[in-house]
Amino acid sequence: MTIRTEQPGDEPAIHHVTEAAFADHPHSEGTEPAIVDALRTSGDLALSLVAEEGGAIVGHVAFSRAILSGGEGGWYTLGPISVLPEQQGRGIGRALVEAGAAHWRKAGAQGIVLLGDPALYSRFGFVTGTPLHIEGPLADYFQVLSFTESIPASSVTFAPAFSSAGTRKSRGV
* Sequential pLDDT tens for the chain (173 residues): 999 999 999 999 999 999 999 998 767 777 899 999 999 999 999 999 999 999 999 999 999 999 999 999 999 999 999 999 999 999 999 999 999 999 999 999 999 999 999 999 999 999 999 999 999 889 999 999 999 999 999 999 999 999 876 533 334 43
Assign residue 9 a region (left: φ > 0; alpha: ψ between -120 and 50; beta: otherwise): left
Q: Is pTM, for the whole model, over 0.85?
A: yes
| Domain-located, residue 56 | yes
- Whether 61 maps to a domain, the answer reads yes
157 within some domain: yes
Give Rg (Cα) of the chain.
Answer: 15
Instruction: List the domain range (segments joined by +) for residue 130.
Output: 2-164
Please state the domain count of the chain: 1
On whether residue 66 sits in a domain, the answer given is: yes
Q: Are the C-beta atoms of 78 and 172 separated by less than 8 Å?
A: yes
Q: Is residue 170 part of a domain?
A: no
Q: What is the CATH number of the domain that holds 133?
A: 3.40.630.30
Cβ contacts of 35 within 8 Å, gap of 6 or more: 62, 80, 161, 162, 165, 167, 170
Which residues make Cβ contacts (< 8 Å) with residue 147, sequence separation at least 6? 104, 105, 109, 110, 111
Say how many CA atoms lie within 13 Å of 100 toward its Cβ. 33
Does residue 173 sit within a domain? no
Residue 148 lies in a domain: yes
